[in-house]
């Protein structure tokens, strides 16, 4: 099992050998802290365990989970592929040093600007999301007399047991072409005959935070059976399959562990069996870890302000951040645990809520957690915030976005500077009295 590089030295939390008090003094709070060694170990765990003698593995980091020049540069050095969903994500990936051939472009409503950028920069693969998008892309490629490798996103109609906002393969999903749509074979036949689009195979994604391996096996079976049928209809051999991501992670102490290494080995064997059962000539199988690549490596620290005892409910511990730096509790009902990072040795714990400073009643980071009685100036740390916290951060209430720092072997590396007050208005224009 992969483990965080957390240590307790005289009651003070150290991450990657660096004291959180030192990090607060240097970078302020709120602050995103990434365990760099754990990210490297996780990337290698995916490569070392999801492999096969009959197909080539393609491990693509889903950059929507968290992306900046530093992180993407690190993952590029780990020889990963990369999933992007926007012009900005492609741009940052190239600036970070990713080989464009290893970049995929996803998205359910790609703009002309995004598609032209992908073509001009020789992005490796475009995942087509709909029949209309196929026609749009074919038109753009035809104008330039270019050919592009593509996968078609199929909606396998697998219902998972996660929050409805992170289910992506229900029949009413905004993503992909539903496998039960009777027009789908006709669409694929037309794509297979295109002179500008080279359909390598199919892509699917069933959602996020999926903890049950059976859902992935169901997805694999559906997708490989579908591929077999489409080969018979089109008389074309498909060489690529991408099964997406969504591998669950432990978010709080009540969640059960997800043994990533064992899962990856088992999943690879399942895929091998499906390839043999359906007699397919699949050369490459891709998966797309995002949250599971970076979430456990990330922590957020805050400075404690006041403690408020309300007439009802648990007392509130207020911190100097909130839904602007982690919207997931408000958006998805995500549940976390907290600790007082500068008083780890204290034994007397009580139940508290953790509230942010944003002007919203819903700005509650944690609904219930056990803490020693907090004091103003304490450091409150929340684990497992590496995915979608910084990525979804905002300037609501005009709060500057926090810094992002990576730590390893006693050293810290600033990846993203904390925003200044000037940064908040750098794109604003002043009223001229019109």
pLDDT digit string, tens, across residues 41-51 = 999 999 999 99
Coil, helix or strand at residue 304 = strand
Res. 162 pLDDT band, cuts 50 70 90: very low
Strand ranges in 70-196 using DSSP code E only, listed in sequence order: 81-84, 103-105, 125-128, 148-155, 177-178
The Cα 275–Cα 273 span in angstroms is 5
> What average pLDDT is seen over the chain?
93
DSSP per residue, 188-242: HHHHHT-SSEEEEEEE---BSSB--HHHHHHHHHHHHHHHHHHHHHH-----EEE
Res. 23 pLDDT band, cuts 50 70 90: very high
Res. 334 pLDDT band, cuts 50 70 90: very high
Strand ranges in 63-105 using DSSP code E only, listed in sequence order: 81-84, 103-105
Identify whether the C-beta of residue 239 lies closer than 8 Å to the C-beta of residue 281: yes
Token couple for 336 = 């976390």
pLDDT attached to residue 57: 97
Residue located via tokens 């509650």: 364
User: Which of 394, 383, 386, 376 lies closest to 330, judged by CA?
Assistant: 394
HSE, CB side, 13 Å, CA atoms: give it for residue 74. Answer: 24
| Catalytic annotation, residues | 359
Torsion 94-96-98-103 (CA) sign: negative
User: Which of 282, 332, 330, 326 lies closest to 300, judged by CA?
Assistant: 326
Identify whether the C-beta of residue 109 lies closer than 8 Å to the C-beta of residue 85: no
Higher pLDDT, 170 or 161: 170
Coil, helix or strand at residue 166 = helix
What is the CATH number assigned to the segment(s) 6-34+297-424? Answer: 2.40.37.10
Instruction: Characterise 294 by phi-psi region: left (phi > 0), alpha (psi -120 to 50), beta (else).
Output: alpha
Whether the per-residue pLDDT at 378 is higher than 50: the answer is yes
Res. 253 pLDDT band, cuts 50 70 90: confident
The correct answer on CATH 3.20.20.100 for the domain covering 50-291 is no
Residues 150-176, mean pLDDT to the nearest whole number: 66
pLDDT attached to residue 171: 61
pLDDT attached to residue 257: 74
pLDDT attached to residue 159: 59
User: Which of 204, 201, 84, 181 lies closest to 131, judged by CA?
Assistant: 181
The Cα 38–Cα 17 span in angstroms is 13
Burial annotation 101-123 (CB, 10 A radius, 16+ → b, else e): ebbbbbbeebeeebbebbbeeeb
Identify whether the C-beta of residue 44 lies closer than 8 Å to the C-beta of residue 261: no
216-245 per-position pLDDT tens digit: 888 899 999 999 999 999 999 999 999 999
pLDDT attached to residue 160: 47
Res. 161 pLDDT band, cuts 50 70 90: very low
Res. 371 pLDDT band, cuts 50 70 90: very high
pLDDT attached to residue 27: 98
Residue located via tokens 């483990």: 3
Q: Which residues pair with 416 in a beta bridge?
A: 404
The Cα 365–Cα 167 span in angstroms is 23
280-312 per-position pLDDT tens digit: 999 999 999 999 999 999 999 999 999 999 999
Note the pTM of the prediction, 2 decimals: 0.94
Higher pLDDT, 146 or 247: 146
Residues 355-372, mean pLDDT to the nearest whole number: 97
pLDDT attached to residue 163: 39
HSE, CB side, 13 Å, CA atoms: give it for residue 424. Answer: 12
Identify whether the C-beta of residue 407 lies closer than 8 Å to the C-beta of residue 38: no
pLDDT attached to residue 209: 76
Per-domain boundaries in the chain: 6-34+297-424, 50-291
Torsion 118-285-160-385 (CA) sign: negative
Whether the per-residue pLDDT at 154 is higher than 70: the answer is yes
């Amino acid at each position: 099992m992969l483990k965080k590089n957390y240590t307790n030295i005289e009651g003070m939390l150290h991450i990657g050998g660096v004291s959180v008090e030192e990090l607060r003094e240097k970078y302020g709070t709120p602050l995103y802290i990434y365990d760099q060694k754990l990210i490297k170990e996780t990337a290698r765990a995916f490569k070392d365990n999801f492999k096969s003698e009959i197909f080539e593995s393609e491990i693509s980091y889903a950059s929507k989970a968290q992306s900046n020049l530093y992180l993407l540069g690190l993952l590029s050095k780990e020889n990963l592929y990369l999933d992007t969903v926007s012009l900005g994500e492609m741009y940052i990936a190239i600036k970070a040093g990713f080989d464009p051939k290893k970049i995929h472009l996803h998205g359910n409503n790609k703009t002309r600007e995004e598609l032209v950028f992908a073509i001009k920069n020789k992005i490796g693969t475009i995942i087509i999301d709909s029949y209309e998008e196929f026609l749009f892309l074919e038109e753009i490629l035809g104008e330039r007399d270019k050919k592009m490798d593509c996968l078609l996103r199929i909606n396998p109609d697998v219902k998972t047991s996660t929050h409805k906002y992170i289910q992506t393969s229900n029949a009413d999903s905004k993503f992909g072409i539903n496998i039960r749509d009777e027009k789908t074979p006709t669409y694929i036949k037309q794509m297979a005959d295109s002179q500008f689009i080279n359909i390598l195979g199919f892509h699917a994604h069933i959602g996020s935070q999926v903890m049950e391996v059976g859902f992935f096996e169901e997805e694999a079976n559906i997708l490989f059976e579908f591929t077999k049928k489409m080969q018979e209809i089109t008389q074309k051999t498909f060489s690529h399959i991408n099964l997406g991501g969504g591998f669950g992670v432990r978010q709080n102490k009540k969640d059960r562990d997800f043994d990533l290494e064992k899962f990856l080995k088992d999943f690879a064997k399942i895929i091998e069996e499906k390839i043999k059962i359906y007699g397919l000539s699949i050369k490459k199988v891709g998966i797309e870890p995002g949250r599971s690549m970076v979430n456990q490596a990330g922590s957020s620290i805050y400075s404690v302000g006041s403690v408020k005892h309300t007439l009802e409910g648990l007392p509130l511990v207020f911190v100097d951040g909130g839904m602007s730096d982690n919207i997931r509790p408000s958006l998805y009902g995500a549940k976390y645990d907290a600790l007082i990072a500068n008083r780890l040795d204290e034994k007397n714990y009580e139940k508290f809520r953790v509230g942010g400073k944003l002007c919203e009643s819903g700005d509650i980071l944690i609904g219930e957690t056990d803490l020693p009685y907090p004091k103003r100036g304490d450091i409150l740390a929340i684990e497992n915030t590496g995915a979608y916290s910084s990525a979804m951060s905002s300037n609501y209430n005009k709060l500057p976005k926090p810094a992002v720092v990576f730590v390893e072997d006693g050293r810290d590396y600033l990846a993203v500077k904390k925003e200044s007050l000037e940064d908040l208005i750098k794109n604003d224009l002043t009223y001229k009295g019109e």
